[in-house]
């Protein structure tokens, strides 16, 4: 598919920002000045002002998204790279300073307390928090951090290996880890590791710079460490770093043993002495890799059918994306790693990016990202104020939207991508991955907490901390003889570089998504209606209320985590 931003429909005419306004700082500053000079004497004044501010933000965020999307789609395109760097170097710092002036104006507006709580309480809390932690000196630090994140993207995006006579991306190499021939898997893993390790020192230095910048930003804002600062910055009002530590402990107690049993079964079925990194993704019974599609068009068509079986309205949303070519799914040289969904906030349309490698996991990834997109479409249909795309969503619930679709969609793979046995096999893998997700979330989150509470650490200390935390939550995967690969394994997790302290959200969301999915298996109509109703609320309610609207409890306690570990263990037995 060929993405062309200029062809997207403009269904929401501007009311404040001049149509066709050039995207220059000179023009933007006029709009900021206009908002800053406006009198806010009544509630109507303030609500109108907020609507206009939101429109300006949507225009800005859309241009940033476009620059980011273009750069990730082709990191080796000099024009795209320069456009993105120009935005984060030249435009964004000025926008942040001007936006802070508007934050101060909002916080000091006398009609603020007259706004109806049902519609405004969440945005009011977010705005007040943002104003309280803003420091002008941090704008420059954030600019440097964004430049380092782009360096990470470019470095990973340029990585290829020549395997079986063909140049392949790191993402494309992952498919060979599912081959039944152990020698092929080992060769593919070793070649991939050699390529990754060739840039390990460069990535280490990039991360050094990020940690320093983030720690300084936290201290500028009056926090002892970046963890505390990030919790405020990410609007984590409903849980604390201490809650995260308790989550880690509960995962260690209830999910690590379950993960270990899965590995023991794999070890026994494979008949090997120990599980090496190239033994983790292959089918333990020696069956060839699942092959759900031959090309991206088949992936798209199949997911469209699966989503249609879940819900016709959600299928319509996905079809709209296909029609507008809002999907970039193929893996190719120069393309950034990973997958994401982002929004073009002014036209209010989502965009999906991923690196398909003809694997079962690709189906799950596209279903996952389509759940994010459904969230965007349902907020769009609800006409929520302060739309401004997913940036106003609590990520803990945004990931409920995506993970729930991934799980519910898995109930409908048979007859689309697979026959009965293959669909059962895919769903067993999904349940195992849900179990493993909890252990990996605990690993990444605990590691980040260590990094930012020990900001002066050396490379050696960082490697040792990673290895210690990895072993705390890992199963039987052995790195004997490959110590360097273990010590740098964290560098593959792009969130550490691009989205600091973002990862516990996946664990919290998995609790909610599992609740929706388990209900869906017995009451699909009720589960879907609750799911769509909760998504339609966007970020207009606190996290506990969003979870309750979806029909699941807001509970990060050990009891809830133990309950889901038992539920998943029970489901897993149905596949044997």
Task: Identify the H or E element spanning 115.
Answer: none
Average pLDDT over all residues of the chain = 95
Of 276, 437, 295, which Cα lies nearest the Cα of 357? Answer: 295
- Taking each helix axis from N to C terminus, what angle separates 504-522 and 241-270, rounded to the nearest 10 degrees? 70
Q: In the CATH hierarchy, which fold is given to the domain comprising 149-576?
A: 1.10.1370
Instruction: Output DSSP code: residue 91.
Output: I
343, 65 in Cβ contact below 8 A?
A: yes
Q: For residue 203, give every residue at least 6 positions away whose Cβ sits within 8 Å of its Cβ, in sequence order, or none.
A: 152, 155, 488, 491, 497
69, 138 in Cβ contact below 8 A?
A: no
Of 414, 445, 410, which Cα lies nearest the Cα of 556? Answer: 445
291, 413 in Cβ contact below 8 A?
A: no
Q: What does 73-137 look like in DSSP terms, one character per residue? A: H-TT-HHHHHHHHHIIIIIHHHHHHHHHHHHHHHHT-GGGGGS-HHHHHHHHHHHHHHHHH--HH
Task: Identify the H or E element spanning 548.
Answer: helix 543-549
505, 395 in Cβ contact below 8 A?
A: yes
Predicted pLDDT of residue 171: 85
Question: Which segment of 82-91, 112-121, 171-180, 386-395 scores lowest on mean pLDDT?
Answer: 386-395
Instruction: Give the residue-averaged pLDDT of 455-459.
Output: 97
Instruction: Output DSSP code: residue 277.
Output: G
Per-residue pLDDT of 53-80, as tens digits, reads: 999 999 999 999 999 999 999 989 999 9
- Residue 387: is its pLDDT beyond 70? no
How far apart CA 502 and CA 234 sit, in angstroms, is 9
Predicted pLDDT of residue 157: 86
Per-residue pLDDT of 227-277, as tens digits, reads: 999 999 999 999 999 999 999 999 999 999 999 999 999 999 999 999 999
Instruction: Give the residue-averaged pLDDT of 45-54.
Output: 94
Of 16, 29, 18, which Cα lies nearest the Cα of 97? Answer: 29
Q: What is the band of 198 on the pLDDT scale with cuts at 50, 70, 90?
A: very high
Query: Residue 483: exposed, middle, or buried by beta-carbon count in 10 A (0-12, 13-18, 19+)?
Result: exposed
Per-residue pLDDT of 341-350, as tens digits, reads: 999 999 999 9
Instruction: Output DSSP code: residue 290.
Output: P
Predicted pLDDT of residue 391: 54
Per-residue pLDDT of 485-511, as tens digits, reads: 999 999 999 999 999 999 999 999 999
Longest CA pairwise span in the chain (Å): 76
CA 479 to each of CA 311, 453, 488: distance values in angstroms, whole numbers, following the listed order: 44, 27, 12
Predicted pLDDT of residue 462: 97
- HEC profile for 229-276? HHHHHCCCCCCCHHHHHHHHHHHHHHHHHHHHHHHHHHHHHHCCCCEC
Predicted pLDDT of residue 173: 93
**What residue spans define the domains of the chain?**
5-148, 149-576
178: tokens are 């599912």
- Residue 337: is its pLDDT beyond 90? no
CA 318 to each of CA 68, 379, 380, 459: distance values in angstroms, whole numbers, following the listed order: 22, 15, 14, 45
558: tokens are 């050990």
- First-to-last C-alpha distance (Å) of the chain: 40
| Residue with the larger pLDDT of the pair 576 and 396 | 396
Predicted pLDDT of residue 385: 65
Question: Which segment of 120-134, 182-196, 372-386, 503-517 scores lowest on mean pLDDT?
Answer: 372-386
Per-residue pLDDT of 389-439, as tens digits, reads: 445 789 999 999 999 999 999 999 999 999 999 999 999 999 999 999 999
Query: Residue 321: exposed, middle, or buried by beta-carbon count in 10 A (0-12, 13-18, 19+)?
Result: buried
- Residue 440: is its pLDDT beyond 70? yes
CA 118 to each of CA 382, 464, 544: distance values in angstroms, whole numbers, following the listed order: 15, 48, 15
């Amino acid at each position: 598919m060929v993405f062309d931003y200029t062809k997207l429909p403009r269904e929401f005419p501007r009311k404040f920002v001049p149509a066709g306004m050039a995207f220059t700082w000179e023009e933007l500053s006029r709009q900021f000045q206009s908002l800053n000079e406006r009198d806010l004497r009544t509630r109507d004044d303030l609500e109108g002002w907020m609507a206009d501010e939101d429109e300006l933000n949507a225009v800005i965020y859309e241009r940033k998204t476009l620059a980011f999307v273009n750069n990730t789609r082709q990191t080796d395109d000099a024009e795209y790279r320069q456009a993105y760097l120009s935005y984060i170097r030249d435009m964004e710092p000025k926008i942040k300073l001007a936006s802070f002036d508007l934050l101060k104006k909002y916080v000091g507006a006398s009609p603020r307390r007259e706004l109806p709580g049902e519609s405004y309480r969440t945005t009011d809390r977010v705005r007040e928090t943002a104003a309280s932690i803003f420091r002008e000196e941090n704008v420059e630090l954030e600019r440097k951090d964004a430049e380092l994140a782009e360096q990470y993207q470019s470095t990973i995006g340029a990585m290829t290996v020549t395997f079986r006579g063909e140049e392949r991306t790191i993402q494309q190499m992952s498919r060979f880890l599912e081959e039944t021939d152990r020698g092929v898997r080992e060769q593919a893993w070793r070649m991939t590791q050699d390529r990754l390790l060739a840039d390990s020192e460069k990535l280490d230095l990039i991360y050094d710079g990020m940690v320093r910048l983030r720690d300084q930003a936290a201290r500028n804002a009056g926090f002892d460490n970046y963890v505390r600062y990030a919790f405020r910055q990410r609007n984590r009002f409903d849980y604390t770093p201490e809650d995260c530590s308790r989550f880690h402990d509960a995962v260690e107690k209830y999910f690590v043993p379950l993960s270990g049993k899965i590995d023991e079964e794999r070890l026994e079925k494979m008949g090997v002495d120990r599980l090496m990194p190239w033994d983790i993704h292959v089918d333990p019974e020696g069956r060839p890799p699942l092959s759900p599609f031959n090309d991206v068009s088949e992936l798209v068509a199949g997911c469209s059918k699966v989503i249609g079986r879940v819900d016709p309205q959600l299928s319509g949303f996905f079809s709209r994306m296909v029609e507008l070519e809002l999907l970039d799914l193929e893996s190719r040289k120069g393309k950034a790693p990973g997958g994401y969904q982002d929004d073009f906030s002014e036209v209010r349309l989502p965009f999906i990016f991923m690196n398909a490698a003809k694997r079962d996991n690709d189906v799950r990834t596209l279903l996952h990202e389509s759940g994010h997109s459904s969230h965007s479409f349902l907020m769009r249909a609800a006409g929520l104020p302060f739309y401004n795309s997913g940036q106003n969503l609590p990520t803990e619930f945004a990931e409920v939207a995506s993970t729930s679709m991934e799980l519910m969609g898995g109930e409908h793979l048979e007859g689309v991508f697979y026959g009965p046995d293959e669909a059962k096999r895919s769903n067993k893998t999904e349940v195992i991955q849900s179990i493993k997700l909890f252990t990996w979330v605990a690993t990444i989150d605990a590691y980040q907490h260590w990094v930012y509470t020990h900001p002066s650490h050396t490379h050696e200390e960082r490697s040792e901390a990673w290895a210690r935390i990895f072993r705390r939550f890992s199963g039987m995967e052995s790195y004997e003889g490959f110590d360097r690969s273990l010590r740098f394994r964290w560098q593959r997790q792009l969130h550490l570089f691009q989205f600091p302290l973002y990862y516990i959200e996946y664990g919290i969301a998995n609790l909610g998504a599992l609740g929706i999915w388990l209900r869906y298996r017995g009451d699909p109509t009720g589960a879907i209606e609750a799911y769509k109703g909760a998504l339609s609320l966007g970020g207009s309610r606190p996290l506990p209320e969003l979870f309750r609207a979806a029909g699941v409890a807001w509970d990060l306690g050990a009891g809830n985590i133990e309950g889901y570990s038992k539920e998943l263990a029970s489901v897993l037995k149905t596949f044997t």
